[in-house]
Amino acid sequence: MAITLNNGFKMPVVGLGVWRMEGKDVRDLIINSIKLGYRHFDCAADYKNEAEVGEALSEAFKTGLVKREDLFITTKLWNSDHGHVLEACKDSLKKLQLEYLDLYLVHFPVAVKHTGVGQTGSPLDKDGVLDIDTTISLETTWHAMEDLVSKGLVRSIGISNYDIFLTRDCLAYSKVKPAVNQIETHPYFQRDCLVKFCQKHGICVTAHTPLGGAAANTEWFGTVSCLDDPVFKALAEKYKKTVAQIVLRWGIQRNTVVIPKTSKFERLKENFEVFDFELAEEDMDKIKAIDRKYRTNQPAKFWGIDLYA
């Protein structure tokens, strides 16, 4: 099952996020997920595992497990490389052992002091606050992203963690429209206005943290997950599915792409088994009613500044 992007390319609606995956885990995860039917992988320079992902993909191609044209590979430009878009993209391609990317995203709408191509630093100033580079505009960064398309290095380009106003601006100054806006959205942080605005203007929404962060964000940010909500426990019982499957199905029925992450094989399998049932409209309404406007991914903890304030 796939969503057709505004440039005609198709993006599978369920992908695997590889954030916080390391070493041999990455290889096993990628190979096992391909065997289960996954064809969409969400990477980023900042995850610091592109080389490991690249090794796994190379193995999958060489052994005939899958063809390159059957996969949809996303990676992201880090904040410290806004002034070095071409070099950063080439660095990611080299690590991933690919000739082109299906999708390249601006990871966050902020440029910071350059720390070396692909180094993905988040330098802080003497006050412990993110050292933001005020000489590079998001428009300049976007035009450099557009050049990647004309060079054939990237098929689609997009944005990530952009609000309505920044998305509107990008639509206004772009020659190549953003195909995707990847944002945090889940039942406790539904962001209906932003989702609908993007969809109205032909931008596909990808939900990162589609399960509300679960254990990973609780550990890093001390946040609460929607997976323990009694509404979901009741729906899981009704549909004879797991809570995670109900949450992911809700995301799919909103016409968003979901990219859950997991390092467990059983969960990998479970997260992909979401195409054999449909939530009734009344149950979609029940989920709509539990929105808390609750963000779980909080980079301010590391950056000394709340970019969402």
For residue 285, what are its two tokens?
């309404």
| 40 burial type by CB count under 10 A (0-12 exposed, 13-18 middle, 19+ buried) | buried
Q: Is residue 162 among the annotated active site residues? A: no
| 219 burial type by CB count under 10 A (0-12 exposed, 13-18 middle, 19+ buried) | exposed
CB atoms within 10 A of CB 121: 16
167-192 b/e with 16+ CB inside 10 Å = b? Answer: bebbeeebebbbbbbbbbbbbbbbbe
Residue with tokens 């900042």: 46
Question: Which residue is catalytic, options 38, 47, 162, 188?
Answer: 47
Task: Give the largest Cα separation in the chain, rounded.
Answer: 55
What residues act catalytically?
A: 47
